[in-house]
Structure 1
């Protein structure tokens, strides 16, 4: 298979975020399959090559597969890489751009897969969810008896959390005597923090709606489940991939504040009754493990390599999606003939 280059704006400072950490983790996984390197395009860094330098000295099409992922930058990156093997590692959906024919999509969730299955149905599509870091599976305290020795009744991470949770639900839970911690600053060991909580609340629907894009992969609820926590979460976008409400997790903001208070208080009192069935949780976490996801990447990369060989070496023509106008005309034509036949 072709060597891989993950294209990122930078790896330090203002570029540090969940999406960056996931790309770096994925690069580490694929490096065990094929030669892999990280390339930056905004910030020059001593440890990584810079896009401008590589394009200046390497002729098209080149020998590597480029992986682009950075949201609104993707259309510009695809233009710069035209004629070279490239694939889009799609985290969030909703950015509004279209993909050129033939560009494969590596979707991190079924929500994102469905989005591109609608917008680019003739492009090669793959599902490669993001992996949990091994520390969550190795150190997550799923076996300890819940409700005994966990100092936090309810844990909330302030970032991405809704006004409803922070301004209404949290104060109401505290008035009922529950020990609620709102984590806002830097935490050296998140596994330790989640292991200390009986219930975790995650409500990102408002956060992502305000930004106009989707929850790309929703790892925090999975991390909480890996630590034996009961999870109350919104079900927007990728969160619906894994959080079967009432089975694996529980909907937050479910109808009324009183309903939330009663269910969360009951979960704190008897967490075991609110946790997912052990076999279901074990299957879910295994599906998110690095070995399983590495195998998914191997399968996808083999198919993408063959796809680009068809295009670049054999001169095949990529399939194109039908233009929206043509689809509308077909629909109007069918309606016209249906009406004409009913009148005659």
Structure 2
């Protein structure tokens, strides 16, 4: 059972974001399973190990399992960790890099799992969604906000067309800017929550990795209108668990959101379906998923390291490789050419 080292660029300042919070949560969950430490690699922080120091002083390179996750930094980190047990905790996809053969992927959504199932089909793949912390629940507060919008990642359509039109109809709309210390309380004050990240992620060329905000809002009793891009399609079942935003016309959105704000109980997620999603996302369930995935990853790296033993390599212990795209297309072209010549 290898101890874990989660690599993060830093934990303060510009690194403070939703992705950091879920990674810190993962560290907390895995710390209940085996020794776990947070290692920074861009920003030195008091009381935390720094990657450069560990690599310089490392006496047993195979003793720990390194977890990398930070998007554009992943290829460089994997090069630096070559020869060490490592796994990629994959949130967003679409960064364009390929993984070295043998590197396991811990995908936080089925969308991300499918991406790497296509791009790295011979690498060990695991589904380990992000967990919903216990504080995300309906507190029974007075809901004095008709419609809540978080400005970050939200489309121009929502901010500049939908929100003004809703206000003209007399709805109390709050557009939240910046970091909120008590987002649970804010969700509990809202009747309807709007989340439209499709344009944001399309413009950046990468994906919505998990989509926690809509699930958090539903857990707090909000009616959710959301885009369905990427991992959001894992969570939203339009009309049953959440509703699509931008559904054809502005008029359609106005009518549905106004009706939901007037009678939230009739528009909330189907209780049985929502309960299933919340159960699958609870910390206990996700800790079990981490446990199973880490045990398999340990076995995977044990086999690869045995292959480097003095007794010599064994084909059965080598990491499987996927053909490159040009090889697949070349083989398929040759197969078509043979069929034409033989016909």
The answer to whether the 8 Å contact 1:60/1:83 transfers is no
Asked if the contact 1:4–1:34 (Cα under 8 Å) also holds between the matched residues in 2, the reply is yes
Q: How does 1:153-192 map to 2 (within 5 A)?
A: 153-192=146-185
Match of 2:192 in 1: 199
CA RMSD across the alignment = 1.3
TM-score (norm 2): 0.95
Partner of 1:330: 331
Structure 2 distance, partners of 1:295, 1:186, is: 31
List structure 1 segments (4+ residues) > 4 angstroms apart after TM superposition: none
Q: Which whole-Å CA distance do the structure 1 matches of 2:249 and 2:172 have between them?
A: 21
Q: How far 1:293 sits from its partner (Å)?
A: 0.3
| 1:320 alignment partner in structure 2 | 321
Corresponding residue number in structure 2 for 1:32: 32
Instruction: Report the Cα offset of residue 59 of structure 1.
Output: 3.6
1:122 matched residue in structure 2: 122
Deviation at 1:331, TM superposition (A): 1.1
Question: Structure 1 residue 338: deviation in Å?
Answer: 2.9
Counterpart position of 1:291: 284
**Worse-superposed segment, 256-265 or 324-333:** 324-333
Partner of 2:311: none
State the partner residue of 1:61.
61
Q: CA deviation at 1:8?
A: 0.8
Q: Aligned partners of 1:88, 1:186: CA distance in 2, in Å?
A: 28
Does the 8 A contact of 1:60 with 1:84 survive in 2?
no
Give unmatched runs, 5+ long, in structure 2.
Answer: 309-316
- Larger mean Cα displacement after TM superposition, 269-278 or 190-199: 269-278
Name which of 229, 234, 237 aligns with 1:236.
229
Whole-angstrom distance in 1 between the partners of 2:9 and 2:179: 23
Q: Which residue of 2 aligns with 1:252?
A: 245
Matches within 5 A, 1:256-275: 256-275=249-268
| Paired residues of 1:7 and 1:39 also in contact (CA < 8 A) | yes
User: How far is 1:60 from its partner?
Assistant: 5.4
- Once residues 153 and 45 of structure 1 are traced to their aligned partners in structure 2, the CA distance between those partners, rounded to angstroms, is 42
Unmatched segments (≥5 aa) in structure 1 = none
Shift of the 191–304 alpha-carbon distance from structure 1 to 2, 3 Å rule, reads: same
Partner of 1:300: 293
Give the length in aligned residue pairs.
Answer: 335
Partner of 1:110: 110
1:110-131 Cα deviation digits (max 9, x unpaired): 1110110011000000000001
TM-score (normalizing by structure 1): 0.95
Could you tell me how far apart the structure 1 residues matched to 2:152 and 2:69 are? 22
CA contact (8 A) 2:307 2:318 kept: no
Out of 59-68 and 210-219, give the one that drifted further: 59-68
Task: Say which is worse superposed, 89-98 or 319-328, in terms of deviation.
Answer: 319-328
Secondary structure in structure 2 of the residue aligned to 1:136? coil
Any idea what the Cα deviations from partners look like across 1:60-99, whole Å, max 9, x if unmatched?
A: 5330000001111111100110000000000100110000
1:186 Cα shift? Answer: 3.7
